[in-house]
């Protein structure tokens, strides 16, 4: 008899089952989409660091001396 495995508890259930008989997981329920979110603090930190690196690079460029 064909069966499927419950993704929640791992129990083998009938391929015709709408829900797992052990944990109640609904097979027909839409699964939530995983969305990777970057916290605002991380974005602000990257922007500040990029600005500091840019300012340091520009500051150092003004002090270049040709050594001959």
Q: Indicate whether 15 belongs to any domain.
A: yes
Q: Indicate whether 43 belongs to any domain.
A: yes
Write out the two tokens for 67.
Answer: 């050594």
Write out the two tokens for 17.
Answer: 């089952």
> Which residues, 6+ apart, have CB-to-CB distance to 64 below 8 Å?
none
Q: Indicate whether 46 belongs to any domain.
A: yes
Q: Indicate whether 68 belongs to any domain.
A: no
pLDDT band at 2 (very low <50, low <70, confident <90, very high): confident
pLDDT the model gives residue 62: 58
Q: Indicate whether 67 belongs to any domain.
A: no
Question: What is the extent of the structural domain holding 29?
Answer: 3-62
Reported as half-sphere exposure (CB side, CA atoms, 13 A), residue 3 has a value of 11
Q: Indicate whether 26 belongs to any domain.
A: yes
* Number of separate domains in the chain: 1
Write out the two tokens for 45.
Answer: 């930190």
Res 17 pLDDT > 80? yes
Q: Indicate whether 51 belongs to any domain.
A: yes
Residue 22: which of 35, 13, 31, 32 has the closest Cα?
13
Q: How far apart are CA 27 and CA 21, in angstroms?
A: 11
pLDDT digits (tens, 9 = 90+) for 40-64: 999 999 999 999 888 887 776 556 5
């Amino acid at each position: 008899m064909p069966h499927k495995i419950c993704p929640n508890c791992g129990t083998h259930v009938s391929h015709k089952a709408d829900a797992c008989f052990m944990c109640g997981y609904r097979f027909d329920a839409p699964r939530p989409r995983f969305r990777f979110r970057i916290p605002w603090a991380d974005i602000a930190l990257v922007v500040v660091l990029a600005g500091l690196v840019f300012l340091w690079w520009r500051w150092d460029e003004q002090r270049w001396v040709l050594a001959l």
